[in-house]
Amino acid sequence: MTIKVRIPAQLRSVTGGVGEIEAEGATVGQVLKEVDTLNPGFGERVFDEDGKLRRFVNIFLADEDVRFMDGLETEVKDGQVISVVPAVAGG
């Protein structure tokens, strides 16, 4: 299954400036791991030492936050879009 992954500007330094990558996988986690394989350094910015999503990284599948679905185990369908969105904080 081919899934499009939208990469935010903050992470494009590890993707050669590319803002959208096509990757394969059956789950959100598998797709993101393939993006890391294709673009070394991506994973260490998205995943913590335990392989979980970093606290300030949000992942959306078809505009739904995967944390409210099955997390990284959320199944994906061909043609869906995953968006990597860094959390915004301020005061």
Residue 53 has pLDDT above 60, yes or no: yes
Enter the pTM of the model. 0.92
Domain residue limits, the chain: 2-86
3-class SS letters over the chain: CEEEEECCHHHHHHCCCCCEEEEECCEHHHHHHHHHHHCCCHHHHHECCCCCECCCEEEEECCEEHHHCCHHHCECCCCCEEEEEECCCCC
Span 1-34, pLDDT tens digits: 799 999 999 999 999 999 999 999 999 999 999 9
CATH number 1.10.1760.20 is the correct assignment for the domain at 2-86: no
Q: Return the pLDDT at 1.
A: 77
Task: Determine if residue 29 is left, alpha or beta; phi over 0 gives left, psi from -120 to 50 gives alpha, anything else beta.
Answer: alpha
Give me the mean pLDDT over the 28-41 stretch: 97
